[in-house]
Structure 1
Amino acid sequence: MAQEMLRCEPAEIDRLVDAGLPFEDRAGERFFDPNDLYNLGMYSNRTNTQPELAFRMLFRFAGRSVEDLLREKAWDFRVRLECVECEGTAPWRFEAPDVVRFGGRVAGGAAPEACAGSAEYAATITTTGARTPLVSTELRRLTREYLDAGYRWQMIPVAMQADHELVHALGATSCIAASLHLAERFRAAGYRAEAKRGWFCGVLGGALDLPHACVEVEDEDGALRTVDIAKAQLAARLSPDTGAFQELCVGSIYNKVIPSTASGNASFGHHECGSPLPVQVRADIRAAR
């Protein structure tokens, strides 16, 4: 997997290991953390690694006209919840899509019924966009200060992202860690703010389930606005032609994000059966035809 992901030869993998790339020895074979491999490829500047190619494809929309991001967009939204080592039939709690307050619609979407092992949620979600840039000069200053701080976006396990102080102390960031950190800065400046989780849509036809988070903040005019700090940061890294999209991320909403009711460091799902292991949540989100 490492050779395929990084597009390199065995000798190059050996050099990476000698330089400190951690691995686990399993019966004489080396197994690497996929996050480590992704981050290596992302910043390798080889241009042909899987992470670099995926990143360019993921953000190809960011250099286009943002008008497409402001229109209504319908998504076939399906989530499967799996309770590991399930203790039996019990109610489910699922942090469902929360698009109505942002001008969107939900068709279907019945809450999962009590059962054992696994459950599903399905709905057609309609999202929309709106230009609502931040009004507060202080909120804009804090946002720009964060973007200029030089944190390096990385793939980080979701559990570690919740410890945003540790992540930023390492000079790294991610959508969840960045949103938790920025929400804290906004609150310290006297604003009501909360990091919220959701789903980033249209990624590889729905096959890639990316954790996503943003900041919801009450602006000085009393309106609730969204700061999608990590997407602004990633777009800036991709190309200088993404300025319009970066500005959209600072206060506005766009149709490729489905917000949920989950807070920034919370799980999307929980099963009341008593299993000590977290529920696995897998989303499949595809553009509706």
Structure 2
Amino acid sequence: MTDAKPSARSFCSGGLTVSRPTATEGVAWEKVANSIEFIPAEFSVRDQPESVAQEMLRCGPEEIDRLIDAGLPFERRSGVRCFDANDLYNLGMYSDSGKTQPELTFRLLFRFARRPVDDLLRAKEWDFRVSLECVDCPEEAPWRLEEPDVLRFGGSVAGVTRPSVSRGSAGFTATVTTTGARTPVVSPVLRRLTGEYLDAGYRWQMIPVPMQAHPDRVHAMGATSCIAASLHLAESFRAAGYRAEAKRGWFCGVLGGALDLPHACVEVEDDDGAVKTVDIAKSQLAARLSADTEQFQELCLGSIYNKVIPSTASGNAPFGYHDCGSQLPIRVHTDIQAVR
């Protein structure tokens, strides 16, 4: 079972308030399309209508025509051209127009990475809510959620409400407290392997969660993503003789909880005997944002910070299950709001 993918509408409007930029006239969309890799058909879900594509990319029908001519895959649904949300996000992200919703979202999302990191090391409370939906549910059955796993990192979980036996849908709520600590990786080998991956030239792209479970497929596109990178790096660490595992979790404070993004990192036992967290994707994204994010990039190489809630799920495992016997994946959506 896998988790529900984010909708393109969440990139466009879900809780994000920005002034509407002018249209992206003058963008060489053919060049942008050639610079990214579109999601392979076996992993693609083309359900975002053209109106969403136009809003997301700040363009009109003519630009969409140009993108289709340049290879953007689409399907017709009830006479409307529909696209994969990941393809749209990646086009906007690499348009270099400064006006698309993905670009604006990215700047807002990572603006904290340019600030001093001390604020990321203090205790922080989160109102943590998960909705679980079984879309083809034949009967009542227990639910299972890979819950927040913060106690071993100095955090706490209180006010937990777990799902009871039911049919169709359920929920999990809790107040989760996270904290941060500077625990940089000390092993020269681990640092070298991490640096080699960062220097390999893979371009970060939005990739469907099922595809991220196959790092070789992602890397063959010249791309990377948090789950794929973590799975690959964990394997590299193990090959070098270290105990390591890719783990899933939640990246908090994402547009006021409106954007549900998959997240993964590597937990590895360092030369000093301590378990360190290598958050390679966030380090890579921060570096793309600005050269003045060195403090945060270093924090990602071993330390923990309060914007991430780790879970008990392994790197390529789903967050939730329903034991009803349905063969369809359940949908898992998180809403994580900072407690003021």
Q: TM-score, normalised by structure 1?
A: 0.99
The Cα of 1:92 is off from its aligned counterpart by 1.0
Task: Pick from 81, 87, 94 the counterpart of residue 36 of structure 1.
Answer: 87
Counterpart of 1:25 in 2: which secondary structure? strand
2: distance between equivalents of 1:47 and 1:184? 37
Q: Which aligned pairs between 1:1-289 and structure 2 lie closer than 5 A?
A: 1-289=52-340
Give me the whole-angstrom Cα distance separating, in 1, the residues matched to 2:115 and 2:92.
25
Q: Report the residue type matching 2:71 in the other structure.
A: G
Q: Distance between the aligned counterparts of 1:184 and 1:84, measured in 2?
A: 34
1:208-266 deviations in whole A, cap 9, x for unaligned? 11110000001111110000000000000000010000000000000000000000000
Distance 2:158 2:77 in 1: 47
Question: Taking every aligned residue pair, what percent have the same amino acid on both sides?
Answer: 76
Q: How many residues align?
A: 289
SS in 1 for 2:306: coil
Deviation at 1:203, TM superposition (A): 0.8
Deviation at 1:26, TM superposition (A): 2.1
Q: For residue 158 of structure 1, what is the amino acid of its counterpart? A: V
Equivalent pair of 2:248/2:264 in contact (CA under 8 Å): yes
TM-superposed CA distance for 1:25, in Å, is 1.5
Unaligned stretches of 5+ in structure 2? 1-51
Native 8 Å contact 2:162 2:173 kept in 1:
no
Alpha-carbon distance in 1 for matches of 2:201, 2:224:
10
1:111: how far off?
2.9
Distance (Å, rounded) in 1 between the aligned partners of 2:68 and 2:314: 38
* Alpha-carbon distance in 2 for matches of 1:238, 1:255: 20
Measured in 1, the distance between the counterparts of 2:139 and 2:328 equals: 13
Structure 1 unaligned regions, length at least 5: none
The CA distance in 2 between the partners of 1:202 and 1:15, in whole Å, is: 36
Question: What is the CA deviation profile of residues 154-182 of structure 1, one whole-angstrom value per residue up to 9, with x for unaligned ones?
Answer: 11111111111110111111111110011
* C-alpha RMSD of matched pairs (Å): 0.8
Counterpart secondary structure, 1:260: strand
Following TM superposition, by how much is the alpha carbon of 1:133 offset from its aligned partner in structure 2, in angstroms?
0.3
Q: Which amino acid aligns with 2:242?
A: Y
For 2:159 and 2:134, how far apart are their aligned partners in 1? 23
- In 1, distance between residues paired with 2:291 and 2:99? 21
- Judge conservation of contact 2:121–2:305 (CA < 8 Å) in 1: yes
Runs of 4+ in structure 1 deviating by more than 3 angstroms, as ranges, are none
Aligned partner letter, 1:162: A
21-30 or 145-154, larger mean C-alpha shift: 21-30
Shift of 1:132: 0.2
Give 3-state SS (helix, strand or coil) of 1:32's partner. Answer: strand
Q: CA separation in 2, counterparts of 1:280 and 1:173?
A: 24
Shift of 1:28: 2.9
Q: Which amino acid aligns with 1:185?
A: S
- Structure 1, residues 170-215: CA drift from partner, whole Å, max 9, x if none? 1111111110011011011110100000000001111111110000
**Partner amino acid for 1:117?**
G
> Displacement of 1:9 after TM fit?
2.2
How far off its partner does 1:27 sit? 3.4
